Amino acid sequence: MITDWECLDLARSGDGAAWRTLYERHYVPLVKMTSCITGSFDAAQDLVQETFVRLLHCRLQHRSGNFHAFITTIAYRLALKENSRRRVRLRSRDCEVTDDTPSPLEKVIADETDRLVIHAIASLPVEQREVVALRFFSGHTYEEIADILEVPVGTVKSRIFYAIRNCQERLREKGILL
């Protein structure tokens, strides 16, 4: 299987299939992560497009690291810039996590649960919301998150712990958790 770094090299030399492979591997997790940070699905899609454009044109100093962490860092920083520009608070209705459950009843239940979870995440302080998005929506390790946010690993662990605890409290208030 071809690595993401190799796909990037091929894509830069004009290989459309390599570009599609990179896009298919990373688009959905990046949109989920950036939509949770910005609070807007539309803005997230634009930011991920911009991420891929920057990826195509950026100067790489090395290719030894984790590609997913590299591309997520680009998207994360773009999302932060977008938040600074727009100064918009995260709204749960703008950050939808889609569910492909075939049963209509299961879909309604899953959508409502997702909405309540996203609302709980949206009500977290920014520092906690960011680590939750990076950990649970983008699948990064604690070490990768620490590198992306430029904070110690212990800080990442602490923020995740308190974010989960705060979300659990909010979900208990809504009757989702016992």
pLDDT over 80 (residue 162) = yes
Query: Cα–Cα distance between 58 and 77 in angstroms, integer?
Result: 14
Q: What whole-number distance in Å separates Cα of residue 68 and Cα of residue 92?
A: 26
- pLDDT score recorded for residue 99: 43
For the chain, give the longest Cα–Cα distance.
55
pLDDT at residue 87 in the model: 59
Give the residue from 132, 116, 113 showing the smallest Cα distance to 124.
132
pTM for the full predicted model: 0.57
Closest CA to 156 of 122, 133, 123: 133
Percent of the chain with pLDDT over 90: 21
Please list the alpha-helical segments (H only) found in the chain.
4-12, 16-38, 41-57, 67-86, 104-122, 126-132, 142-149, 153-173
Q: What is the pLDDT of residue 35?
A: 84
pLDDT, the chain, mean? 82
List Cβ neighbours of 117 (8 Å cut-off, separation of 6 or more).
Answer: 167, 171, 176
Q: In this structure, how many other beta carbons lie within 10 angstroms of the beta carbon of residue 19?
A: 18
The per-residue pLDDT for 96 is 53
pLDDT tens across 45-102, in order? 999 999 988 888 888 776 777 888 889 888 988 988 887 776 544 444 455 545 444 4
| 27 vs 59, more confident | 27
What is the predicted pLDDT for the residue at 67? 85
Query: Which domains are delineated in the chain?
Result: 1-91 (1.10.1740), 99-178 (1.10.10.10)
Calculate Rg over the CA atoms of the chain. Answer: 17
Average confidence (pLDDT) over 125-147: 90
